[in-house]
Structure 1
Amino acid sequence: MTQAVEYDVVVLGAGPVGENVADRTRAAGLSTAVVESELLGGDCSYWACIPSKALLRPALARADARRIPGLSVAVQGPLHTQAVLARRDEQVSHWKDDGQVGWLDSIGARVYRGRGKLHGPRSVVVDGPEGEHHLLTARHAVVVCTGSRAVLPELPGLIGAHAWTSREATSAHEAPGRLAIVGGGVVGVEMATAWQALGSQVTLLARGDGLLPRMEPFVGEHVAAALKEAGADVRLGASVAAVDRPGGGTGPVTLVLEDGSRVEADEVLFATGRAPRTDGIGLESVGLEDGSWLSVDDSCRVEGTEWLYAVGDVNRRALLTHQGKYQARIAGAAIAARAQHVPLLESDRWGAHSASADRLAVPQVVFSDPEAAAVGLSLADAEKAGHRVRAVDYDIGSVSGAALYAEGYRGQARMVVDLDREVLLGVTFVGPGVGELLHSATVAVAGEVPIERLWHAVPAFPTISEVWLRLLETYRG
């Protein structure tokens, strides 16, 4: 039996992005339905951000402690792997979403469990887990917040090999003796850091000539060197040609590389890219391509429509949870303004309806050892965009606060300066603890703070943030 219900807003996907859209539209007084086929809270809560950082935190804390005389001797032993995994399980609420259900209930959003599918303009059909069917119609907006999924390459033998994706890597209940990781991006590097620390012998295979290729080249060099010191086997320029795993995908796995060499492992993780989770959600019913990324304007409204929005990973502007939540705030405010027939320019006192930070000032932290943190443009990207720029580098290890933070601190900072306007287009750090420096860099880049004013943002002594003063001094020469 199909039940028809009308709402002001219907949200497809109840990850952090969909939850934030619902929060904003409910706060504006709009009735809102949220549709989710898996756990409320999405990948970030159960298979990505939260569990990965729960696995990484003990590894990074131990690494920091080992760099401090007087403490290093006490932390030379292995991590208690089962204790780390147990804490990870607690952080993801043992893969139960009762808390998320309660929160959505508290804001007055109506939750529909099941697979949601567009059924023409402003309509969504939900097939529930017990065979029930719901037809939801939206007076003002349907918002697609279905996120992205891991993509496996087409390789001989991979089908049936039961390879890990990021989901299996963050939810595994024991450390494999040997773990091969294919991919030198964020997921590959973070999982190599975590599982090497948890007792696996990691082999990291990166097709390019460096790790973390979207960041400044020196970042990948620092991270690769540290992984090697930790005992991981890091191979650059390594491409997998085939996978061999006999025994129904339960025995050892062999990776055949293009150069003919082989890598033996007990498990293999492919961290080789993402695709939008827009297949099978009825895009074709509104004239869009099934399974495609969705192009949006700066209010996250799908181009060519008046009622359809795409927020978070699905619009491909910045595949990061915090950027998706930022977009959700933008979209929610825009939907509310349009529903109230208020022109965006009149209601947009704080720039709340126009997403710009997901193009020019995207911050990201890679929780490897050492940490990597960047916001805005790299030097290569700035030059490619036609800016007249100068890169200013500084050795973080020579800053007083860094020397106190850890014995033999190794790290590097770079700021990319727009020479015509004397503002920062990008900032990158690599080194222990640098993730906490990133928000200051984000404020400088997003706010287009003139270098003349940055001189008056005095860093506290003795902290690693003194690197800001040294970068400015180096720029002035």
Structure 2
Amino acid sequence: MTETENIAHSNYDVVVLGAGPVGENVADRTRAAGLSTAVVESELIGGECSYWACMPSKALLRPVIAQADARRLPGLSAAVQGPLDAAAVLARRDYWASDWKDDGQVGWLESIGAEIHRGHGRLSGERTVTVTAPDGTQKVLTARHAVAVCTGTRAVLPDLPGLDEVRPWTSREATSAKAAPGRLVVVGGGVVATEMATAWQALGSQVTLLVRGKSLLNRMEPFAGELVAEALTEAGVSVRTGTSVESVTRENGTVVVVTGTGDRIEADEILFATGRAPHTDDIGLDTIGREPGSWLEVDDSLRVTGSDWLYAVGDVNHRALLTHQGKYQARIAGAAISARASGAPVQADPWGAHAATADHDAVPQVVFTDPEAAAVGLSLAEAEQAGHRVRAVDYDLASVSGAGLYGDGYRGRARMVVDLEREILLGVTFVGPGVGELIHSATVAVAGQVPISRLWHAVPAYPTISEVWLRLLEAYRDN
């Protein structure tokens, strides 16, 4: 018997590569439709979000935000002036990361009838995945209908000489560290950089934030980055924009950073939050004539361009690098795979059951800094670049009664971008304490293309921060 003949073979309707939230949701939808489904994972079931991103980062940030909110309230502020109990915060973080054990996630996948294959999965031809287990044994999984690539992304480190010896943090180390470093340099100006600067500064680190560009959060409206930068500076973070990193070394345990202007900064740890790359470099794309390490282009049903069996769902297709958007795509992809498998019609027209239309028009995001920044849809600049005739309507959130009651000295801003041809909203941005809970109302308005004339009849409860909706509509009407 040959070595190939010794390899076990199994057939399924669907094979899912990657068991993060995206892969789990694809499996859930295909299993709900009665399709046999295998899920392949080389790390922890639950993926990046559960152990190194969404869950641990928000567990670190929640006490920081709660304390900041409490300090804005007379009668309570005096009681919360001391430092956070870092050990308790980290212990709660560990709980929300399930102590980096995936028993619960395994149990859930098994409960829906998906079969889990531990090991590194690689495409080995059309509709075929070869799984190499930790002990080196292999098995071949064949998919009758679809293979869904849900392998996500990995952190990108800059090409700096000797960086490996420095042992830099990426988002994984930043969210799983066991103690606050005395001094932390954060490189980057996006979501991970601003959130981790917020968290670790509050937990006792002296944080320096180095930003190559001129502003923070440059994918949002400019005022979002401005307000966050202002608050970080007031909290004690040294924010340096227009600053590049020329070299990084570790000398006697100390990280030494030399900037483009020749400044020398010493720290205990350095975090690079400078981008993500697709986790497709070693999944066998070359065996099906595609470039290893590339983003996978898909149609709105999440099927890879030029294929009738390969799907790419979540971050790996580069449409929207957000967990909630990836889970949305997974629901769409699972439904599309199931429809095609059964021979049912595929509703792939915009806003159809098998079209991820929201990826283009209504992607929401919250940055959990203090203040929070939340946005959905297009910014003013994006709307203008797309050729829409638009008008931006701004309002000072501090002027809303509910915001003033939320906390003394409230600072924030809201903007809605109005399509003047159709009088619908193309985008909405809120910045201020507590605004993350406002963004779903904006998402409904944008995704639903609700006419402004109808929004007048959506009455905000008084006195809440959501009263800003009324003020924005009044500003649009009166100017």
How is 1:116-131 mapped onto 2 (pairs within 5 angstroms)? Answer: 116-131=121-136
1:199-256: per-residue Cα shift (whole Å, max 9, x none)? Answer: 0000001111111010000011100111011111001111101111134xxx110111
SS in structure 1 of the partner of residue 404 of structure 2? helix
Structure 1 counterpart of 2:299, from 297, 300, 306: 297
Match of 2:259 among 227, 233, 257: 257
Say yes or no: does 1:241 pair with 2:254.
Answer: no
Offset of residue 155 of structure 1 = 1.3
- What are the Cα deviations for residues 398-449 of structure 1, in whole angstroms up to 9, with x where unaligned? 0000010000100000000001110000000000000000000000000000
Distance in 1 of aligned mates of 2:95 and 2:315 = 26
Is residue 351–residue 357 contact of structure 2 (8 Å, CA) maintained in 1? no
Partner of 1:207: 212
Partner of 2:176: 171
Give the whole-Å Cα distance in 2 for the aligned partners of 1:350 and 1:380. 25
Describe how 1:391-430 pairs up with structure 2 within 5 A: 391-430=392-431
1:343 to 342, 345, 356: 345
1:321 correspondence with 2:351: no
Cα deviation, residue 130, structure 1 = 1.4
- What is the aligned partner in structure 2 of residue 145 from structure 1? 150
Alignment of 1:213-232 (within 5 A): 213-232=218-237
Q: How many angstroms apart in 2 are the aligned matches of 1:209 and 1:279?
A: 32
Please name the residue that 1:184 is paired with. 189
Q: Which residue number in structure 2 is paired with residue 72 of structure 1?
A: 77
Match of 1:309 in 2: 311
Q: Which of 88, 98, 105 matches 2:103? A: 98
CA distance in 1, matches of 2:230, 2:350: 48
Alignment deviations for residues 43-80 of structure 1 (CA, whole Å, 9 cap, x no partner): 00000000000000000000000000110000000000
CA deviation map 1:250-284 (0-9, x unaligned): x1101110111111110000000000000110001
Aligned 8 A contact 1:66 1:75 in 2: yes
1:450 aligns with 2:473: no
- How far has the Cα of 1:359 moved from its partner? 1.2
What SS class does the counterpart of residue 16 from structure 2 fall into? strand
Closer, same or farther: CA 319–350 of 1 in aligned 2, 3 Å: closer
CA contact (8 A) 1:55 1:84 kept: yes
Structure 1 gap segments, 5+ residues each: none
The one-letter amino acid of 2:143's match is: A
Residue 321 of structure 2 aligns to a residue whose secondary structure is coil
Aligned to 2:22: 17
What is the RMSD computed on CA atoms of the aligned residues? 1.1
Tell me by how many angstroms 1:349 deviates: 12
Residue 278 of structure 2: aligned partner: 276
Q: What is the identity percentage for the equivalent residue pairs of Structure 1 and Structure 2?
A: 75
CA spacing shift, 1:334–1:355, aligned 2, 3 Å: same
Offset at residue 156 of structure 1 (A): 2.6
| 8 Å Cα contact 2:456/2:473 also seen in 1 | yes
Shift of 1:167: 0.1
Separation in 2, partners of 1:297, 1:350:
13
CA deviations over 1:148-192 (Å, ceiling 9, x no partner) = 000001013322110000000000000000000000100000000
Q: How does 1:75-86 map to 2 (within 5 A)?
A: 75-86=80-91
The TM-score normalised by the length of structure 2 is 0.98
Partner amino acid, structure 1, of 2:224: V
Separation of aligned partners in 2, 1:252 and 1:358: 43
Q: Are the equivalent residues in 1 in contact too, given 2:350–2:357 (CA < 8 A)?
A: no
Using a 3 Å threshold, how does the CA distance of structure 1 residues 350 and 185 change in structure 2: closer, same or farther? closer
TM-score normalized with structure 1 length: 0.98
Contact 2:392 2:416 in 1 (8 A): yes
For residues 164 and 177 of structure 2, the distance between their equivalents in structure 1, rounded to whole angstroms, comes to 20
The DSSP-based 3-state class of the residue aligned with 2:328 is: helix
Quick one: which amino acid aligns to residue 168 of structure 2? A
- 2:360 & 2:42 partners in 1: Cα distance? 30
> Per the alignment, in what secondary structure is the counterpart of residue 410 of structure 2?
coil
Q: CA deviation at 1:350?
A: 7.5
- Give the corresponding residue for 2:468: 467
Tell me how far 1:351 sits from its aligned partner.
Answer: 2.1
Alpha-carbon separation, structure 2, partners of 1:109 and 1:349: 30
CA distance 1:203–1:401, change in 2 (3 Å): same
1:286 Cα offset (Å): 0.6
1:32 to 12, 37, 40: 37
CA distance in 1 between counterparts of 2:165 and 2:125 reads: 37
Write the distance in 1 (CA, Å) between the matches of 2:297 and 2:50: 26
Counterpart in 1 of 2:336? 334
- Give, in whole Å, the separation in 2 of the partners of 1:18 and 1:177: 38
CA contact 1:66–1:72 (8 Å) conserved in 2: yes
Question: In the TM superposition, what whole-angstrom CA distance separates every residue of 1:114-167 from its partner, at most 9, and x where no partner exists?
Answer: 000000000000000112211000000000000000000101332211000000
Q: 1:452 to 1:255 in 2, by over 3 A?
A: same
Question: Does the 8 Å contact 1:163/1:268 carry over to 2?
Answer: yes
| Cα deviation 1:281-326 (Å, max 9, x = unaligned) | 0001111100100000000000000000000000000000000000
Aligned mates of 1:218, 1:184 — CA distance in 2: 14
Distance 1:43 1:114 in 2: 16
Q: What is the Cα deviation at residue 343 of structure 1? A: 1.8
**Given that residues 122 and 137 in structure 1 are in contact (C-alpha distance below 8 angstroms), is that contact kept between their aligned partners in structure 2?**
yes
Q: Secondary structure at the match of 1:301?
A: coil
Q: Which residue of 1 is the match for residue 3 of structure 2? A: none
For the 8 Å contact 1:156–1:241, the answer to whether it is kept is no
SS in 1 for 2:83: coil
Report the secondary structure of 1:134's partner residue.
Answer: strand
Distance 2:216 2:153 in 1: 22
Alpha-carbon displacement from aligned partner over 1:311-353 (angstroms, at most 9, x marks no partner): 00000000000000000000000000000011213x9997220
Q: Give, in whole Å, the separation in 2 of the partners of 1:425 and 1:200.
A: 40
Moved over 3 A (4+): 347-350
Structure 1 equivalent of residue 367 of structure 2: 366
Partner secondary structure for residue 24 of structure 1 = helix
**SS of equivalent to 2:168:** coil
Partner residue in 1 for 2:164? 159
Q: In the alignment, does 2:384 pair up with 1:383?
A: yes
Q: 1:146 is paired with a residue of what secondary structure?
A: coil
**Is the 8 Å Cα contact of residues 329 and 352 (structure 1) preserved in structure 2?**
no
Q: Gapped runs of 5+ residues in structure 2? A: 1-5
Corresponding letter in the other structure for 2:117: Y
1:157–1:245 contact (8 Å) kept in structure 2 = no
